[in-house]
Amino acid sequence: MNHWLKKSIENSTTLVVLFSVSMVLAYYPVTPPSWSAEPDAVRHLYLFHDDSLSPQPFESTSVYDMPTVEVSVNAPTGIGWRNPDPNLSIPESSGNPGHGSWDIGQGPEGNIRIVVPIGNLSSSSEFIGYRVEIQVNAVAYDTMYALPDMHVEGYSLMERTTSDTLAFFDRKIGLWYNRTWTAVLHQVYEDNVVIVVSGDAVRGSNIDAIEIYARAVSDDDPLYTALGTPIAWCRDHDVAPLGDDRWNDVDYYDTDGDGMLNWEEYVAGTIPNNSQSLLIITRISADPGTFAELEWIGGTTGPQAPYIVESTPSMTAPEWRDEGHDAPRAEFNHWIGSDPIFSNRFYRIRATRD
């Protein structure tokens, strides 16, 4: 922290004292993962010092290729790169002019996409896939904006955790937080993973820094497919790779020909080798002035997360509203709304992993 003090005399009688604080803040890493010192672990830190849409890392530790980054701003909800001005900018970034932040706007269109090399074994004839551990930390503004989301393209995040800790106070207004995610990816067959940090879907996000740790090890005894389907679940239902396919390919089979892929059958809790077991609405009663009533076929073989009932007044530009949750039941499920309806509504049932 640098301080300066300036004194001047006006009209020979008035002493004016000006005091200002010029703050040069570095990024203070959150606690690294236990495996961060392993020789095959990688770390990349981005501080976004300029408005390049393909920024370079400020710090990198890796025995593999360098990552590539693409920043996508969702205009007009996102302003773009913000160069902090201690006198004017609200919110500020965490340092002096030149140490900026990305106001990417609403996600998923507003995002920072990072291709992270994690190995060099995919071309080997003995390669059986990676198990990849990741830790991602984003420093983001949490006043007027919301903290961002994170996903990895093509993979479910198993053993996922999310934690928020205070990073620093903004000198004008508001707070900056560390949002830290950890997760495990299974059955990764490429030598890189694509990590996407996206803006909050409603309020957008302003991101000051991103730190990524990743480590790939051999997935000798895989428990899940890339999409998070338990391999034990597949085996329990007599579903297995065909020919030279891998377990990841099984996710995209429609084993029973009912129009639902196997990974969809797992999430819905239905049976992948029974064409009569699928997630489908069988009856809707929604007359004006009455309580909406839905019946659907479901199942209990999957994650056991409640089904989510949603509705929207229009299918042209749908804005789905959560109407209620209902625990999954084998075969027929039944739900009655809590409020009478007085206009057109469209309904859907959504199944989730958690």
CA 172, chain centre distance (Å): 29
Residue-wise burial string across 269-294, b where 16 or more C-beta atoms lie within 10 A, e elsewhere: bbbbeeeebbbeeeeeebeeeeebeb
Which position has the higher pLDDT, 171 or 256?
256
Tell me the two tokens of residue 244. Answer: 């030279």
Q: Averaged over 245-254, what is the pLDDT?
A: 95
Q: In what order do the strands lie in the sheet with 307-312?
A: 321-326, 307-312, 346-350
Mean pLDDT, the chain, rounded, equals: 87
pLDDT at residue 75, as a whole number: 92
pLDDT at residue 342, as a whole number: 86
Residue type, 280: I
pLDDT at residue 26, as a whole number: 57
Residue-wise burial string across 175-213, b where 16 or more C-beta atoms lie within 10 A, e elsewhere: ebbbbbbbbbbbbbeebbbbbbbbbbeeebbbbbbbbbb
**Residue 248 region, left (φ>0) first, then alpha (ψ -120 to 50), else beta?**
alpha
Tell me the two tokens of residue 191. Answer: 């030598």
Which position has the higher pLDDT, 245 or 85?
245
| pLDDT tens column, 297-330 | 999 999 999 999 999 999 998 889 999 999 999 8
| pLDDT tens column, 42-57 | 999 999 989 999 999 9
153, pLDDT greater than 60: yes
- For β-strands 101-105 and 130-141, DSSP reports them as unpaired
How many percent of the chain have pLDDT more than 70?
88
Residue ranges per domain, the chain? 42-218, 280-350
Give the pLDDT band of residue 88 (cuts 50, 70, 90).
low
pLDDT at residue 44, as a whole number: 97
Question: How far apart are the C-alpha atoms of 48 and 172, rounded to whole Å?
Answer: 21
Residue type, 138: A
Q: Averaged over 263-277, what is the pLDDT?
A: 95
How far apart are the two ends of the chain, measured CA to CA in Å? 45
pLDDT at residue 341, as a whole number: 87
Q: Averaged over 108-127, what is the pLDDT?
A: 94
